[in-house]
A and B are shown apart, each in its own frame.
Chain A
Amino acid sequence: AQKVTQAQTEISVVEKEDVTLDCVYETRDTTYYLFWYKQPPSGELVFLIRRNSFDEQNEISGRYSWNFQKSTSSFNFTITASQVVDSAVYFCALSEARLTGGGNKLTFGTGTQLKVEL
């Protein structure tokens, strides 16, 4: 069975600090996808990034960067120079990619509440 663990329940930082959100996953599949979603106080779920299991290249998008390491089953998310607008709950998620039968359900972690203060 798939499982996603986000051990950090809540993180508080001061603006401009860098912060890393941890995500560890478990799956028996060799082909899978990993995601990060952001849930701001307004409640919607905003897609941030998707990686497939064959692409371990790290990705950077502005102040956001992601580190995918298959050897440790981790997909960590770093925000550089955090801002108050980054305050949100961040979810890591995993989906299998079974081409024959089955679907595309996302298994979510419990989320990390990030609070960025002035």
Chain B
Amino acid sequence: DSGVTQTPKHLITATGQRVTLRCSPRSGDLSVYWYQQSLDQGLQFLIQYYNGEERAKGNILERFSAQQFPDLHSELNLSSLELGDSALYFCASSVDAVRDTQYFGPGTRLTVL
């Protein structure tokens, strides 16, 4: 158990809908990351927050947004969902913003029907 929690574990929804994925980092970690794992794209970095501020952005779609709250938990919002958004979404956390090891949560499996 990495200490990173993600909810829900599974999510099934329809095209065009909006969902919110939640992540709680390990105690003491200030940085939160979101990654998407799909069969065609592999593991891709989406976005990083550090102590509430956006720190780095990857190939995150405009339909996706994220934020980190004062208690350091983070949410990833996915809207206007398409079939291709079906994937495993991982959250990771680390102590600092630059060098520390990232520990991953169990992931949220999103299925868009």
A residues near B (Cβ < 8 Å) are: 33, 35, 37, 43-47, 50, 91, 97-99, 102-108, 110-111
Interface size class on chain B is 20 to 34
| Shortest Cβ distance from A49 into B: residue | B101
Q: Does B88 contact A (CB under 8 A)?
A: yes
86-113 of chain B: CB within 8 A of chain A: 88, 90, 92, 94, 96-107, 109
Chain B residues packing against A (C-beta within 8 Å): 2, 31, 33, 35, 42-45, 48, 50, 55-56, 58, 88, 90, 92, 94, 96-107, 109
Q: Can you report 12 A-B residue pairs in the complex whose CB atoms are below 8 A from each other?
A: A43-B109, A44-B106, A102-B55, A102-B56, A102-B98, A104-B33, A104-B48, A104-B96, A104-B97, A104-B98, A105-B33, A111-B42
Q: How many inter-chain residue pairs (CB < 8 Å) link A and B?
A: 68
